[in-house]
Structure 1
Amino acid sequence: MGTSKIIDVLIALDVEEILKNYPSLSQSKEQPTLLTNAVDCIYMLTTRANAVYGYGPNQGGAQGEGGNDLNVKASVNDSIRWRTVSLTDTAEYTCFLYEYKLLSSSIGKDLLGKKTYETANVSEPYPVEGWPEVMQVQREPRADFKARATVLNAGSEIYYFYVAIYDNLGHLKGYIRWDPRLTVSG
């Protein structure tokens, strides 16, 4: 029996573009605003080693990562860790994945197991005033939040992903969802 691996996925959201196109986001986490054209505002990224290429409209092209769909190389029992970030980092907005649900299944099985959420308190370095001449950093505490799921099956399915968006003062801007295709190729 082989060993399982952890696959990190970063979901980067262009919150400014989302708010421009959807100025009144839902305030109900049960009924989030559906982003009908997420291709211009959501980017799912993983390492080249974990991405599958050759799927999508440009056959043979780099379709494995960088768009609002994700094609990932994973085996059953591998873990996928999902982190979300605004393209403004935390300067203006913060985003948190709070749910995903299988929307439609061609194989009759869910690709992902039960999700869990993890928060780790970490110390993050940042450049001091005078950077880069000084080339020194200081550290400040922050929380590292991620959702985790275990891969149950290979296949290609459509999910709803749900994200909460907050401004830099911690005020809720709203809830969104989109329907990415997730492809797991063992």
Structure 2
Amino acid sequence: MGTQENYVITLVVLLAYTCCTSSSTVHRNDFTKTTIPPPTTVPPGCFYHNKYYPPGSLIENGYDPSTNWCYGTHCDMNGQLQNWDDFNCRTTPPTTIPPTTIPGCLYNGKYYSLGSTIDKGYDPDSNWCYGTYCDTNGQILHGDDFNCVKTTTGAPTTTLGPPQVG
């Protein structure tokens, strides 16, 4: 009787039967049939260490920091015990190293050192000089000078350098 099956026990009670003599006759009507209801059924769920857990319950879980291991037991929706584990279950944030900044300028995908000329040019039709420079603070400066070629009695001279910050 230790299982969870339903049992119907029929109890036969003898009415008005006193003693058994050879002349005694027992008739069918002398008995009453009584049915005892089956024991209550165990609800679906899990028993773990002599304790009941309903379906879907977390029974236990744990973490071992020395091995980064998580583990646990739960009662699934069908009333079955499920054990689980997960190695490397807690992620540790990566160590971030701040980027190293090299002094200079990045212009059109190319690096230029402090104080260098990135680009310069001259348009003779308009007497216009222009240029792009990386200043000593790592800033990109654009400069232009109209009427940049000075004519003197000698040959023309062109002078265009980094713009002066004033």
Structure 2 length-normalised TM? 0.17
Structure number with greater CO (CA < 8 Å, separation at least 6) is 1
Q: TM-score, normalised by structure 1?
A: 0.16
